[in-house]
Structure 1
Amino acid sequence: MQFKPIQRQHSHHFDQGNPLAQKKILIATLLTGAMMIFEIIGGWIFNSMALLADGWHMSSHMLALGLAYMAYRAARHYAQDTRFSFGTWKIEILAGYSSAILLMVVALLMTFQSVERLFHPVQIHYNEAIPIAILGLVINLVCAWLLHDDVDHHHHHSHESDHHEHDLNQKAAFLHVVADAVTSVLAIVALFAGKYFGWDFLDAVLGIVGAILVGKWSLGLIKETGKTLLDAEMDHPIVNDVREAIASLNVSVNITDLHVWKVARGKFSVILVLESRDRALTADQVRHALSVHEELVHITVEINQTASFSFVPRETRRML
């Protein structure tokens, strides 16, 4: 029996960060940081809960954007590090997950502060607070425009489900900016309503509405990134594709073990153990059947023969 030696390869360049996204996130971080300082000072001086909440909200986004930027830097820095057997893409997913948790904390703080202000209202200086809120929204929209471009048009693959394969690190950064824009809009609405209709309570009420929206987005992102970090991909369409490819071999074969997990954006690794009565079946044939799916970048195949002889030949191959 001849074995092909398994060589550990570490030149996994299929997804080593996105330099353009990295640059855009850095610009967004700096813009957000400047606006955050302006809003917190303005909200504090002019007593606007909505403006102050928006400012503190922005501080968390500046941290999240900074985190996204550092994740790209780290993924590129460790790209050649042999300790990462499937590359460094999950550094970005980990950053997205951390960012989502930060967003949830912000939502809870916004709720708490707004409820408190609802029961203990203060005099709001509308004329000064309104221009700051509008400027905040403009900065948010600029950042959202910067980050949205790539979320929609990043990397197209052949598989039909690939339109779901966003850059989750950038998506996290983008959601932070969008959440910020929404709270800015709510702050502006509250300030105008307070100034022209005397609806002071709206400042706190819309703070709560904003918090609920932000919490909902963060929960969605926690689920999305958490699924990837925990390798919970067995419900992905690619798993059925693997089963169908094995069935297409037209030989007597059973899948006794199958593991599929994501190793890059739209790229998967597979461990496949087969049981077959056909002694002619080789790992090469199996690998060839699976090669039509470009998403499969690491394939390990083991074939166990079920004939009456005692020697069980095994072939373990890896394809990059």
Structure 2
Amino acid sequence: MDLLPHLYDCTHCNVSIYSSWRWNREGCGVGAGHDHGQQVMRAGEKHRGRLWAAFALLAVFMLVEAVGAWLTGSLALLSDAGHMFSDVLGIGMALAAITAASRASRDGQRTFGLYRMEVLAALANAVLLFGVALYVLVEAVRRLNEPTEVMAGPMLAVAVAGLVANVVAFLLLRSGAQESLNVRGAYLEVLGDLLSSVGVIIAAGVIAVTDWWYADPIMAVAVGLFILPRTYRLGRAAVRVLVQAAPPHVDVAAVRAGLYAVDGVAEVHDLHVWTLTSGMEVASAHLALDAGADLARVLTAARQLLHERFEIEHATLQVEPEGAEGVCHGAHW
């Protein structure tokens, strides 16, 4: 398999350098103008059909729970409806982001497409979840001081229906949870909503048997406290991508050491590793070569190292042959 480097001028350093080709998952070389959408299959797009099914199902039962909460006077059921609303909105944002990303290749000015839309949607989803949890906690504290009578029978029936809907949505989203940040966010929300539905069922049962009205706000507090840690984790993951931090599973020092160990590499500098969106890790680096080093061999070895050891599929390597005039120091930020 031939490796065909491109020669171009470095405007910052006034020296000639080489830029490696990038390689897709099948090992085929692709040029500098290659569309990212063709290089890496969008993880979220593969599960679009399941997302739509979960969206429709949860939207219907969100309305059922909201009406049920109004009729029964149950705060726990209302909190579950609010949680389900966040599920629906989160899945809706995921679908919008996936659609936007799939169309991004038509605009030549968006060289990375609209892949970050998925991450922005996940962050907005986390903020929404936090708001829902905060409202539930405040309202629950108020009801602990002034217990409100609820209709246990209808409350139980609606909670059971909501549980069934969440189980179905959970099964629909499970397969994509490890591939897409937004699918994972929706999956975690549905999982939390499933557990909160179980809590509402328990509260309804307690009220039906004992007429202990405190069970409703206490369960609402439990649901609110359950939402917060998941909200934090989802928001942290989204922010990590947005600030272009290295992926948690990639040791940047190990990447640097691995590239430095490639035969013919004299120095590694200006190394950057970040996540563009779910399942798309990106790297760039400057590789200074030893005298007489074979450019094609260095690029092939570096590419294989990043692909096989660190699972980085998209890497742009700037190679600086020994003896070139000037030195590329890169940007200092």
Partner residue in 2 for 1:111: 137
The percentage of aligned residue pairs carrying the same residue is 25
Residues 145-294 of structure 1: pairs in structure 2 closer than 5 A: 145-152=171-178, 166-233=179-246, 236-237=249-250, 239-251=252-264, 253-275=266-288, 278-281=290-293, 283-292=295-304, 293-294=306-307
Partner residue in 2 for 1:312: 326
- List alignment gaps of at least 5 residues for structure 1: 153-165
CA distance in 1 between partners of 2:318 and 2:136 (Å):
52
Are 1:23 and 2:49 matched, yes or no? Answer: yes
Q: TM-score, normalised by structure 1?
A: 0.83
**CA offsets per residue over residues 71-109 of structure 1, 9 Å max, x none?**
111111213322232343322222122212211111111
Q: What secondary structure, in the 3-state scheme, does the structure 1 residue paired with 2:267 have?
A: strand
Give, in angstroms, the shift of residue 304 of structure 1: 6.8
CA distance in 2 between partners of 1:27 and 1:267 (Å):
26
CA distance in 2 between partners of 1:185 and 1:9 (Å):
52
Q: Is the 8 A contact 1:260 1:271 kept in 2?
A: yes
Are 1:303 and 2:320 matched, yes or no? Answer: yes
Give, in angstroms, the shift of residue 137 of structure 1: 0.8
Q: Is the 8 A contact 2:44 2:176 kept in 1?
A: no
Are 1:4 and 2:7 matched, yes or no? Answer: yes
1:32 corresponds, among 36, 50, 58, to 58
- Greater length-normalized contact order (CA 8 Å, ≥ 6 residues apart): 2
CA distance change for structure 1 residues 268 and 64 in 2, over 3 Å: closer, same or farther? closer
Q: Would you identify which runs of 4 or more consecutive aligned residues in structure 1 move more than 6 Å?
A: none
Q: What secondary structure, in the 3-state scheme, does the structure 2 residue paired with 1:279 have?
A: coil
Give, in angstroms, the shift of residue 222 of structure 1: 0.7
CA distance in 1 between partners of 2:87 and 2:173 (Å):
13
Partner residue in 1 for 2:77: 51
Q: Which amino acid aligns with 1:139?
A: A
RMSD: 2.6
Q: What secondary structure, in the 3-state scheme, does the structure 2 residue paired with 1:15 have?
A: coil
Q: Which amino acid aligns with 1:90?
A: R
Q: What secondary structure, in the 3-state scheme, does the structure 2 residue paired with 1:124 have?
A: coil
Q: Is the 8 A contact 2:271 2:284 kept in 1?
A: yes
CA distance change for structure 1 residues 240 and 265 in 2, over 3 Å: closer, same or farther? farther
CA distance in 2 between partners of 1:253 and 1:247 (Å):
7
Give, in angstroms, the shift of residue 201 of structure 1: 0.9
CA distance in 2 between partners of 1:287 and 1:241 (Å):
18
Give, in angstroms, the shift of residue 16 of structure 1: 3.3
- List alignment gaps of at least 5 residues for structure 2: 9-18, 20-30
Q: Is the 8 A contact 2:262 2:302 kept in 1?
A: no
Q: Is the 8 A contact 2:66 2:78 kept in 1?
A: yes
Q: Is the 8 A contact 2:79 2:223 kept in 1?
A: no
Q: Which amino acid aligns with 1:281?
A: A
CA distance in 1 between partners of 2:88 and 2:280 (Å):
30
**CA offsets per residue over residues 9-63 of structure 1, 9 Å max, x none?**
1411213354441111111111111111111111111111111221222222211
Q: Which amino acid aligns with 2:231?
A: S
CA distance in 1 between partners of 2:282 and 2:80 (Å):
42
Q: TM-score, normalised by structure 2?
A: 0.80
